[in-house]
Amino acid sequence: MRRRAFLGLLALAAGCGTPAARLSRLSLLAEGGAADSFARSLRSVIEAGRLTKVDLAEVSSLTSMSGVGRRDGPELIEAQVMVAGPALVAEAAADHTGHVLARTTPLARLVGEWEVLVASPRSRFRTFDAFAEALRRDPAELQVAGRAVGGPDHVLFGLVAQGLGMDVRLLSYAAYADAEQVVSALVDARIAVGVGGLRDLAAPIRAGTLRPLAVSAKDRVPGVDAPTLIESGVRLEYADWRGLVGAAGLGDADRAALRDLCRTVAAAPDWRRSDWVPMHLEGDDFARWLEAEVARTRAVLADLGTL
């Protein structure tokens, strides 16, 4: 399975157990795309709210969770924190030894975006029910597209098929580099249905370039004229989320300080005005949710043949 790069956040404290408000430096590492967008949003919230002094570090990339918990840099890192999301879940799902999650201390899920299934206005699929019926009839013939294999779009497609009681191994999925290419393929009728994040697809939906069929939120999304998957008979809620996890060896004081920082960021007005959906979940609740998310992702990725 193709691995997505992770976005990392290294929090360098002035001393062991230093309160979150006195963190002296944040170094942002991002791969681009949604990761860069989240990094910018997070940095903007921290700077606007003056939650901490920020020394903007050089941006670099991280390709796996192998660096979590290691402190071999030139400076003593009092707390090391990785920004997690579906990429972390997919990495953990593929790691049957359990080492990925064993190297982390879940801190908080902060935000996310809902996914949406879309079609061209000229498509024969005017509703999700019509799409579901065609998918059941001939899943191999009906090509659905989204971003990377094993990524949130692909996982959601597999989960939808599971929810419809289908054999996920028969699905046909086309992976594109970004949402813009997915939109182009839909408009050109090269694919039947697309899957993607609402942050990318909201504009073409508003413009009438795409027709939304269903959203993956628990409740209907304002401004999107489409039912939820739950309303459509698929008992499923799914988001492309972002949160923070720390190294496994975090001390109690550092863990408490970082969770406090998460709460402060989650409550910041600037954060709530961004185009990310608040999805705050912290501590043990987040740890249990993360474990369950890894389990269902592992199951669907195995059925999709990507593990």
The CATH number given to whatever domain includes residue 182 is 3.40.190.10
Q: Nearest 5 degrees, angle CA 301-CA 109-CA 224?
A: 75
Residue 288 falls inside a structural domain: yes
Percentage of the chain exceeding pLDDT 90: 50
Computed on alpha carbons and rounded to an integer, the radius of gyration of the chain in Å comes to 20
- Provide the pLDDT for residue 64: 44
The verdict on 93 and 123 lying in the same domain is no
- Identify which of 92-101, 241-250, 286-295 has the greatest average pLDDT: 286-295
Last residue of a domain, one of 215, 232, 258: 215
Check: CB of residue 52 under 8 Å from CB of residue 11: no
Residue 230 falls inside a structural domain: no
Q: Of 101, 148, 97, 150, which is closest to residue 301 (Cα–Cα)?
A: 150
Q: Is the pLDDT of residue 71 over 50?
A: no
- Domain range for 168 is 114-215
27 pLDDT band, cuts 50/70/90, is low
Q: Is the pLDDT of residue 282 over 70?
A: yes
The verdict on 41 and 92 lying in the same domain is yes
The whole-number average pLDDT for the span 288-306 is 92
Residue 236 falls inside a structural domain: no
The verdict on 246 and 298 lying in the same domain is yes
Q: Is the pLDDT of residue 9 over 80?
A: no
Residue 126 falls inside a structural domain: yes
The verdict on 31 and 78 lying in the same domain is yes
66 pLDDT band, cuts 50/70/90, is very low
The verdict on 211 and 266 lying in the same domain is no
The first and second tokens of residue 74, run together, are: 């030139």
The verdict on 181 and 211 lying in the same domain is yes
304 pLDDT band, cuts 50/70/90, is very high
62 pLDDT band, cuts 50/70/90, is very low
- Provide the pLDDT for residue 137: 93
Residue 280 falls inside a structural domain: yes
Look up the CATH number of the domain holding residue 100: 3.40.190.150
The whole-number average pLDDT for the span 95-106 is 79
How far is 150 from 93, CA to CA, in rounded Å? 10
Residue 231 falls inside a structural domain: no
- Provide the pLDDT for residue 225: 95
* pLDDT digits 0-9 by tens, 231-276: 999 999 999 998 888 777 777 877 887 788 788 888 887 776 778 8
Tell me how many domains the chain contains.
Answer: 2
The amino acid occupying position 13 is: A
176 pLDDT band, cuts 50/70/90, is very high
88 pLDDT band, cuts 50/70/90, is confident
Residue 15 falls inside a structural domain: yes
The verdict on 139 and 182 lying in the same domain is yes
- Provide the pLDDT for residue 49: 64
Q: Of 40, 3, 21, 19, which is closest to residue 242 (Cα–Cα)?
A: 40
Last residue of a domain, one of 164, 180, 215: 215
The verdict on 141 and 199 lying in the same domain is yes
The verdict on 36 and 78 lying in the same domain is yes
Cα separation values, 294 from 3, 87, 92, 288, Å: 15, 10, 7, 10
Q: Which residue has the higher pLDDT, 40 or 161?
A: 161
The verdict on 16 and 105 lying in the same domain is yes
The verdict on 97 and 21 lying in the same domain is yes
The whole-number average pLDDT for the span 42-71 is 51
Q: What is the total residue count of the chain?
A: 307
68 pLDDT band, cuts 50/70/90, is very low
The first and second tokens of residue 140, run together, are: 């191999």
pTM of model > 0.75: yes
Residue 228 falls inside a structural domain: no
The verdict on 170 and 251 lying in the same domain is no
